[in-house]
Amino acid sequence: MNAQDKPVEDLSRAEAEEELARLAAEIARHDALYYQQDAPEISDAAYDALRQRNMAIEEAFPDLIRPDSPRWRVGAAPASGFAKVRHAVPMLSLDNAFDEENLRDFVARVKRFLSWSDDEPLLFVAEPKIDGLSINLRYEQGRFVRGATRGDGREGEDVTRNLLTLKDLPKQLKGAAPEVMEVRGEVYMTKSDFAALNRRQEEAGGKVFANPRNAAAGSLRQLDPAITAQRPLRLFTYSWGELSENVADTHWGFLERLSDWGFSINPLAERCEDVDAMLALYHRVEAERAALDYDIDGVVYKVDRLDLQARLGFVSRAPRWAIAHKFPAERAITQLEKIDIQVGRTGALTPVAHLTPVNVGGVVVARATLHNADEIRRKDIREGDTVVVQRAGDVIPQVVEVVLDKRPEGTPEYDFPTRCPCPLQTEVVRHEGEAVSRCSGELACPYQQVEKLIHFVSRDAFDIEGLGEKQVQAFFDWGLIRTPADIFDLQEKDGADGLTRLKNRPGWGARSAEKLFEAIEARRRISLERFIFALGIRQVGQATALLLARSYGSLERWQSAMKQAASERHAAPQARKPEEVGQAYAELCDLSGVGMSMADEICAFFHERHNLEVLEQLEARLTVEDAVAPVTAADSPVAGKTLVFTGTLETMSRSEAKARAEALGAKVAGSVSKKTDYVIVGADAGSKARKAAELGVTILSEEEWRQMAGEAR
Ligand code: IVH
């Protein structure tokens, strides 16, 4: 009897393997007939029976599940590229520490946040920071169901089929596991596998990879899993995403459970009792680094107790309870051929060193930033010098120092230019107390205009597909766009006024022009935080843009408040305290993370007539969506309310209370006014509590506040 005709329970292992291969091919063929050719050969019931047989055999022999098993496919595969996966829990990054002092500050910060005294012992887990690609692995009922790359942290790519080729990846967990469990870790390639792969690639005339990390990334993102299967990838796990139940009380306990389930965890991880133990481990791992068969770029320390991790929470995109202690950068010696000046979007002039290309820790470096005029003077860097360059992680390469005895005699000092390299050749200005030199051409400087436009369309701003640096520069040179609003008129004006149609321009065709116009149309609707970030106001990064969007809610409210603040500031340029400037200005400064220097930049932006025109033009062309408070805040009684904390709190520090309130969608202000909704009064509260009573603002005790915030039960 053929294996094909046997009931599942009678199959031997070898027969099961044979059957799974046959079924995979058979089902794939029927999928293609059905989905792609609209010409099914068998009935739906017969098709279902094939799938059921496949599943039943896989249940009986889970270790035989194939990378091309039908279980990984629902319907037809996308024609090209990977399907997108939205992460149930965002994938975050880590803050960095570069030296002992940074590390001590971190530990002190954690304790302060928890209201612990300095000498109270706090356990950390230290583990190597693997230089690979982070990945999210989803398990349901103990079965691996999907794997996705980090992507932008919120949405990654579905690389399930490629991950199945990893020997380190358990397809079925050992022992009991939660209903839903997402495990996170790092996919990497060993140094020896990397070297062997590059040798093979070289012989075959294929692409040679710069370092193991790039090789791992390129291999995991292969559209054909058969290619991934030939590229040995490995996995270390260290974190989690969605979990349907708690699995441990400590990070250490979590690592142990990972290992029990069958995951590989890094053998160098250790529990540390204090900063000295953390540093000792750091130096031990650093000494072993070169001998390890995988790249690491530092040590990650994590607060061990998970309840404390939960209290500490996150700031913007990184946890407060962890930090990455980076290893010193790798260095190399080369020639500095020439110093070039680059103009940024805010007019800052950045000197860039052009180097004789040199290999620094596996990456070829040909340029390095020199930061500013002071740096060049301090290090006495001159054109023609021999220099030491270093690269730290993904950071831009830097010139560390000059090798003075290699300097040719008579080499002149470097003169920082006094005129901008832009066609206007405007004067270079340097404001008191600032390290940067700026082009005084401001909005007229074409170099700045281009950089502003590039920022406007960048990934975290308008994110217009097909409109990158190169295209923006070309459109600018052709006179098609000058200000952001012009982008949204591109299609309408295409070919008008005797302009050559885009599709007839070098590098463009009818299809690519059409696609670009579609991508632009898709962005006529934009979230308020992206809109604010896109404006490129100095000091206003993504986190601040989000904060402003959530605090003011709509473009209209934000704009009118900022115009008000700007005119207040203009009238009181000397004032040194927010309250002395005016109400709108003080409210802006009351937002956590906004200081006077940032508020001044925002005011300067709103004081500039040209910027107001740009805003008007954009408003006429776009729909800017109102910001919504974060999901967790949706049903919180304090969402949208303004709170003031005063006095000493007992159960948490002021910064924890503030973070908690903001997470619930509340605004936390520093002073009491008529706009305050609640004042939370701790021990020894003084004038603020009195003022609240005078103004008739609701006063809450710490306990009442905790109940409102859902902390007390
Ligand atoms: S923990 C919420 N542990 O480093 C924090 N990350 O710079 C989750 N990485 O995106 C990260 N080794 O890709 C953690 N032992 C380790 C790590 C590690 C490497 C990567 C990870 C993360 C990035 C942050």
Other C-beta atoms lying within 10 Å of the C-beta of residue 613 = 12
Decide: 54 and 73 in contact? Cβ < 8 Å: no
Least confident segment among 137-151, 232-246, 362-376, 507-521: 362-376
Tokens, residue 223: 């559209």
Nearest CA to ligand 1 atom 15: 129
How would CATH label the architecture of 3-73+330-406? Beta Barrel (2.40)
Is a pLDDT exceeding 50 seen at residue 516? yes
Closest atom, ligand 1, to C-alpha of 269: 15
Tell me the C-alpha distance between 445 and 610, whole Å.
Answer: 13
Query: What is the greatest pairwise CA distance in the chain?
Result: 95
Residue extents of the structural domains in the chain: 3-73+330-406, 120-298, 445-487+489-523, 528-628, 633-708
User: In sequence order, which ranges of 440-541 are alpha helices (DSSP H)?
Assistant: 446-457, 469-477, 484-487, 490-493, 510-522, 528-534
CATH number of 633-708: 3.40.50.10190
List the beta strands (DSSP E) in 572-671.
Answer: 623-625, 642-646, 667-669
> How many angstroms is it from 282 CA to the middle of ligand 1?
16
State residue 334's pLDDT score: 95
Residue 393: pLDDT above 60? no
Give residue ranges with CB within 6 A of ligand 1.
Answer: 92-94, 127, 129-130, 134, 186, 238-239, 300, 319, 322, 324
Q: Which CATH architecture has domain 120-298?
A: 2-Layer Sandwich (3.30)
Residue 508 has pLDDT above 50, yes or no: yes
| Ligand 1 atom closest to Cα of residue 127 | 15
Phi/psi at 136 (5° precision): -115, 125
| CA gap 301, 319 in Å, rounded | 11
Number of the ligand 1 atom closest to the C-alpha atom of 93: 24
- Are 494 and 510 within 8 A, CB to CB? no
CATH assignment of 445-487+489-523, among 1.10.3720.10, 1.10.150.20, 3.30.565.10, 3.40.50.720: 1.10.150.20
Query: What's the Rg (C-alpha) of the chain?
Result: 30
pLDDT (0 to 100) of residue 396: 62
Give the model's pLDDT for residue 263: 97
Which range scores top for mean pLDDT: 79-93, 447-461, 627-641?
A: 447-461
What would the DSSP string read from start to end of 544-582? HHHHHHHHH-SHHHHHHHHHHHHHHHHH-TT--SHHHH-
Question: What is the residue whose two structure tokens read 């603040």?
Answer: 565
Q: Is the pLDDT of residue 658 over 80?
A: yes
Tokens of 8: 């599942």
Cα–Cα distance, 225 to 219 (Å, whole number): 9
Minimal-distance CA residue to ligand 1 atom 18: 129
State in Å: Cα 93 to ligand 1 middle: 6
Average pLDDT taken over every residue of the chain? 88
pLDDT digits (tens, 9 = 90+) for 313-351: 988 678 999 999 998 777 889 999 999 999 988 888 989
∠ at Cα 133 (127, 136), nearest 5°? 85
What pLDDT is stored for residue 631 in this prediction? 44
Please give the helix or strand (H or E) that residue 203 lies within, else none: helix 191-203
For residues 292-320, average pLDDT = 92
Q: Measured between alpha carbons, how far is 164 from 700 in angstroms, rounded to an integer?
A: 55
Alpha carbon of residue 226 to chain centroid: 30
Query: Looking at residue 75, what is its pLDDT?
Result: 47
User: Which are the contacts of 563, defined by CB distance < 8 A and separation ≥ 6?
Assistant: 606, 612
Range picked from 99-108, 186-195, 371-380, 698-707 for highest mean pLDDT: 99-108
Report the candidate in 234, 239, 72 with the shortest Cα–Cα distance to residue 165. 234
The percent of residues in the chain predicted with pLDDT above 70, rounded, is: 94
Atom 22 of ligand 1: nearest residue by CA position: 93
- Which of 89, 91, 92, 93 has most ligand 1 atoms within 8 Å of its beta carbon, as the pocket-test mutant? 93
Q: Is the dihedral of CA 690, 694, 696, 697 positive or negative?
A: negative
Cα-to-centroid distance, 574 and ligand 1 (Å): 45
For residues 113 and 657, is the Cβ–Cβ distance under 8 A?
Answer: no
pLDDT at site 594: 85
User: Average pLDDT, stretch 348-361?
Assistant: 88
Name the residue among 272, 305, 308, 267 with its Cα closest to residue 288.
267
pLDDT value at 634 more than 70: no
Residue nearest to atom 17 of ligand 1 (CA): 129
Separation CA 542–CA 157 (nearest Å): 23
Question: Hey, which of 131, 134, 252 would you mutate to test ligand 1's pocket, going by the most ligand atoms within 8 Å of its Cβ?
Answer: 134
Is the separation of the CB atoms in 552 and 602 below 8 Å? no
Classify 528-628 by CATH class: mainly alpha
Its sign, for the CA torsion 586, 590, 591, 593, is positive
- Other C-beta atoms closer than 10 Å to the C-beta of 73 total 15
Take atom 24 of ligand 1 and give the residue whose Cα is closest: 93
**Band of pLDDT at residue 526, cut at 50, 70 and 90:** very high
**φ, ψ dihedrals at 97, nearest 5°:** -120, 140
pLDDT-based confidence at 430, cuts 50/70/90? confident
94 CA → ligand 1 middle, Å = 7
Residue 322 CA, ligand 1 centroid: distance in Å: 9
Summarize pLDDT for 135-191 with one digit per residue, the tens: 999 999 999 999 999 887 888 899 998 999 898 999 999 999 999 999 999 999 998
Reported as a pLDDT band with limits 50, 70 and 90, residue 711 is: low
Do domains 3-73+330-406 and 528-628 share one topology? The answer is no
Q: CA torsion, points 510, 511, 516, 519, in degrees to nearest 10?
A: 140
Q: H or E segment at 213?
A: helix 212-220
pLDDT of residue 124: 98
pLDDT per residue over 463-472, tens digit each?
999 999 999 9
3-class DSSP state for residue 85?
A: strand
Q: Which of 130, 183, 315 to mutate to test the pocket of ligand 1 (most atoms within 8 A of CB)?
A: 130
Active-site residue set: 129
CA distances from 114 to 95, 264, 313, 315, 699 (A): 19, 32, 11, 15, 24
- 420/439 Cα distance (integer angstroms): 6
Is residue 24 pLDDT above 80, yes or no? yes
pLDDT in the model for residue 280? 96
Is the confidence at residue 206, as pLDDT, over 80? no
pTM exceeds 0.75 for this model: no
Structure tokens at 610: 């040209």
Centre of ligand 1 from the C-alpha of residue 622, in Å: 38
How confident is the model over 442-448, as a mean pLDDT? 85
